[in-house]
Amino acid sequence: MCGIFGVMDKRRQMMDGSGIREALSMMNERGSGEGAGYVAYGIYPDYRDCYALHVFFDNACENKAIVDATLEQWGSIECDEAIPTCDQLNLKVNCTPWRYFFKPDASLAPGSASPEKDVVTNLVMQINACANGAEIVSSGKNVGLFKASGWPEDVADYYRIQDYEGYIWLAHNRYATSNPELWERPDPFNLHDWSVVENGKTTTYGANRRYVESFGYNCSTGTDSEVIAYLIDLLTRKHGLDINLAIRALAPPYWDEIDRMPEAEQNLNRALRFAYGSATMNGPFTVVAANPDMMVGFTDRGKLRPMVVGECGDRLYIASEETAIRAMEPKVESITRPAAGEPVIGRVAP
């Protein structure tokens, strides 16, 4: 079920999308041809101080004016345009991808520790909750997300992925189990800094969704990865956990493992389990997530979905299969398969 891929250059050296396209297409047996997506960091240097909002319009002529008016209530639009695309024979287009470069009005979130991001979060939740023929699929600074219902090659060629350069890329080859025609359903999912791809299926979706929605998030697509993206934002940005603790809260050790830990570590892990029981994810899954400063990978506690890690020079790779890593980096220097419960955290240089 599903193929996922991530690559990060620790020195922020740019990579075009052609290698990502090749890597993801090596895992086509994991997909169904009904969804694929890519997200890249660093692709909009000319608008690095703006939030790049990627939007799917059912009908831009009818729906765009509503979104324009909503954005103007929350800040200012610096530029907007249709995302360049190239029609593909095997890809049925059912929406218009658009992008806005947007500056939020921080005064609309007084007292917030991260006012711009709170404004953007509220904006995304408001637009995506309404039946207005528009869906914001990414909303970060200097980051863009590209996805559709189709095979990875067709989706990449439709968006001309090779024309973009980024220092972190995530990609996903979807094995659709529902709503294959909806372009917003495939991974990746993004909320300002954080993007997520997942292979698997959590059995705690309902509890996780109710928990995150109790903090004001609105889950509009019914997918695990949307909830995971919001959980990571909640735990790291709003609750101030570092990423190690956030991952431990989402995928904690078993109780019997905690019982065997030194006392201080026992106390920490018990506190996390009690505090974040409703955020704990169960079921078979592997998650790769990224923000502008890092890329992380983690699995369920039994590692019921694969995660392979590669390193070559300054580049870190995380994928469902080794063959995908070698497709992009034939001379990969190190291949490892982390144990269950062993997260992988790579950081870019300051």
Residue type, 71: L
* Across 20-45, average pLDDT: 94
Q: Is residue 181 pLDDT above 70, yes or no?
A: no
For residue 188, report the phi and psi dihedrals to the nearest 5 degrees: -75, 165
CA-based nearest residue to 276, from 199, 214, 336: 214
* Across 308-315, average pLDDT: 97
Please name every residue paired with 100 in a beta bridge, in sequence order, or none if there are none.
Answer: 53, 80
Ordered by where they begin, the domains of the chain are 3-347 (3.60.20.10)
Q: What is the model's pLDDT at position 184?
A: 77
Distance CA 273, CA 264 (A): 14
Q: What region does 85 belong to: left with phi over 0, alpha with psi -120 to 50, or beta?
A: beta
Q: Which two tokens stand for residue 169?
A: 């890329």
Burial class from Cβ neighbours inside 10 Å (0-12, 13-18, 19+) for residue 211 reads buried
Q: What is the model's pLDDT at position 64?
A: 95
Q: What is the model's pLDDT at position 336?
A: 97
**Chain mean position to CA 280:** 18
Catalytic residue among 2, 50, 95, 219: 2
Check residues 131 and 126 and name the one with the higher pLDDT: 126
CA-based nearest residue to 188, from 249, 228, 145, 129: 145
Q: Is residue 180 pLDDT above 70, yes or no?
A: no
Torsion angle (degrees, nearest 10) of CA 21, 24, 26, 29: -130
∠242-248-251 over CA atoms, to 5°?
Answer: 135
- Summarised one tens digit per residue, pLDDT across range 82-130 is 999 999 999 999 899 999 999 999 999 999 999 999 999 999 999 999 8
Return the minimum-mean-pLDDT range out of 30-34, 292-296, 307-311.
30-34
- List Cα–Cα distances, 301 to 340, 341, 345, in angstroms: 5, 5, 17
Under 8 Å between Cβ of 318 and 297: yes
Q: Is residue 179 pLDDT above 70, yes or no?
A: no
Please name every residue paired with 319 in a beta bridge, in sequence order, or none if there are none.
Answer: 5, 308
Q: What is the model's pLDDT at position 185?
A: 76
Under 8 Å between Cβ of 14 and 142: no
For residue 223, report the phi and psi dihedrals to the nearest 5 degrees: -120, 150
Q: What is the model's pLDDT at position 350?
A: 85
CA-based nearest residue to 3, from 22, 18, 62, 79: 22
Q: Is 2 a catalytic residue?
A: yes
pTM: 0.96
* Across 64-82, average pLDDT: 96
Distance CA 350, CA 343 (A): 22
Helical (H) or strand (E) element with 143: strand 143-148
